[in-house]
Amino acid sequence: MKKVIIFTDGACRGNPGPGGWGALLKYSQHERTLSGSDSNTTNNRMEMMGAIEALAALRESCVIELYTDSQYLQKGITEWLPGWKKRNWIKADKKPVKNADLWQLLEIEANRHQVSWHWVKGHSGHPDNDRVDSLANKAIDDMLA
Please say if 133 is a catalytic residue: yes
Closest C-alpha among 34, 15, 45, 54 to residue 136: 34
Annotated catalytic residue, options 53, 69, 76, 113: 69
pTM higher than the cut 0.85: yes
Q: Tell me: the pLDDT tens digits for 79-127?
A: 999 999 999 999 989 999 999 999 999 999 999 999 999 999 988 888 9
Quote the pLDDT of residue 53: 98
| Known catalytic membership, residue 128 | no
Tell me whether residue 9 is one of the annotated catalytic residues.
yes
Q: Which of 32, 30, 84 shows the shortest CA–CA distance to 55?
A: 32
Q: Which of 47, 50, 53, 113 is catalytic?
A: 47
- Work out the average pLDDT over 129-140: 97
The pLDDT tens digits for 26-43 are: 999 999 999 999 999 999
Contact 40, 13 (CB under 8 A): no
- If we measure between CA atoms, which residue out of 22, 11, 29, 91 comes closest to residue 57? 22
Question: Residue 10 catalytic?
Answer: yes
